[in-house]
Chain A
Amino acid sequence: MGDPAEFSEEDFKPRGTVAIVGLFMLTLILLWLSVYLILIARGVTTT
Chain B
Amino acid sequence: MLTQPRTYQLDTSQKRFISYHLVIAVIALTVGSIFGPLQSFNWGGLDLYQFLEPIGLGDYYKGLTLHGVLNALVWTTFFITGFLTLTTIVGLGRPLKHPRLNWAGFITMAVGLVMAGIPILAGWASVLYTFYPPLEAHWGFYLGLTLVVVGSWIEGYGFYLTYYQWRKENPDTRTPFITFGGLITMVMWQLATIGVAVEILTMLLPFSLGLLDGTDPQLGRTFFWFTGHPLVYFWLLPAYISWYGLLPREAGGKLFSDSAARLAFWLFLLLSIPVGFHHQFVDPGIPNSWKLIHATLTYGVAFPSLLTLFTVVASLEYAGRKRGGTGLFGWIRALPWHKPSVSAQLLAGILFMFGGIGGITNASYNVNLVVHNTAWIPGHFHLTVATAATLSYMGISYWLVPYLTGKPLWKPKLAVAQTWFWFVGMLIFSNAMHVLGLLGAPRRTDLNSAPYVPEEWSGHLLRVSIGGAILLIGVILYVLIVYKTARGKDHLPEGEEIEVPIAESITDPQLTPMWLDRWRPWLVGSVALIILAYGPQLAQQISNAQFTSPGFTP
Contact, chains A and B (beta carbon distance below 8 A)? yes
**Residues in chain A within 8 A of chain B (CB atoms):** 1-4, 7, 9, 12, 14-17, 19-21, 24, 27-28, 31-32, 35-36, 38-39, 42, 45, 47
A15 engages B328 (CB within 8 Å): yes
Q: Which secondary structure characterizes the binding site on chain A? A: helix
Residues A17 and B329 in contact in the complex (CB < 8 Å), given A31-B357, A32-B360: no
Chain B residues positioned under 8 Å from A24 (CB to CB) = 309, 353
A35 B367 Cβ-Cβ under 8 A: yes
Q: A21-B309, A27-B357, A36-B364 are in contact. Are A14 and B317 (CB under 8 A)?
A: yes
Give residues 272-313 of B contacting A (CB, 8 Å). 288, 309-310, 313
Whether B536 is near chain A, meaning CB under 8 Å from some CB there, is no
**A1 adjacent to B256 (CB under 8 Å):** no
- Cβ of B198 within 8 Å of any chain A Cβ, yes or no, is no
Instruction: List chain A residues, Cβ under 8 A from B256.
Output: 14
Chain B residues with Cβ below 8 Å from A38 are 370, 438
Establish whether residues B330 and A1, one from each chain, have CB atoms under 8 Å apart when the complex forms. yes
Is B331 engaged at the interface, CB distance under 8 Å to the other chain? Answer: yes
Interface locus among B6-14, B319-327, B452-460, B510-518: B319-327
Size of interface on B: residues with Cβ below 8 Å to A: 36
Chain B residues closer than 8 Å to A4, beta-carbon distance: 322-324
Contact across chains for B361 and A39 when beta carbons are under 8 A apart: no
Contact A36 B367 (CB under 8 A): yes
Contact of A16 among B332, B361, B364, B367 (CB under 8 A): B332
Chain B, interface SS category: helix
Establish whether residues A12 and B370, one from each chain, have CB atoms under 8 Å apart when the complex forms: no
Q: Report chain A residues within 8 Å CB of B370.
A: 35, 38-39, 42
Which 8 residue pairs spanning A and B have beta carbons closest together? Answer: A14-B314, A2-B326, A17-B314, A4-B324, A17-B313, A1-B324, A16-B317, A28-B357
State whether the Cβ of B111 lies closer than 8 Å to any Cβ in chain A.
no
Instruction: Give the residue of A1, A2, A19, A21 whose beta carbon is less than 8 angstroms from that of B328.
Output: A19
B546, CB-defined interface residue at 8 Å:
no
Q: Contacts A19-B329, A35-B371, A39-B367 known; A1 to B334 CB distance under 8 Å?
A: yes
Interface residues of B in 488-507 (CB under 8 A from A): 506
CA of A45 to CA of B356, assembled, Å: 27
Contact (Cβ within 8 A) A17 B310: yes
Q: A31–B139 Cα gap in the complex (Å)? A: 43
13 extra interchain contacts, Cβ-Cβ under 8 A, other than A21-B313, A24-B309? A2-B324, A4-B324, A7-B321, A7-B322, A14-B314, A14-B317, A20-B313, A28-B356, A31-B361, A32-B361, A35-B438, A38-B438, A47-B288
- Taken together as a complex, chains A and B put the C-alpha atoms of A2 and B326 apart, in Å, by 6
Q: List B contacts of A36 (CB < 8 A).
A: 364, 367
Q: In the assembled complex, how far is the CB of residue B346 from the closest CB belonging to chain A, in whole angstroms? A: 12
* Complex-state Cα separation, A16 to B318, whole angstroms: 10
Q: Map CB proximity to A onto B412-453 as digits: 1 under 8 Å, 0 otherwise.
A: 000000000000000000000000001000000000000000
Q: A39 to B364: give the CA distance in the assembly, Å.
A: 11
Is there contact, CB below 8 Å, between A17 and B317? yes
CA distance A17 to B324 in the complex (A): 16
Report the bound CA distance from A15 to B332 in whole Å: 12
Instruction: Please name all residues of chain A whose beta carbon is closer than 8 Å to the beta carbon of B371 when the two chains form the complex.
Output: 35
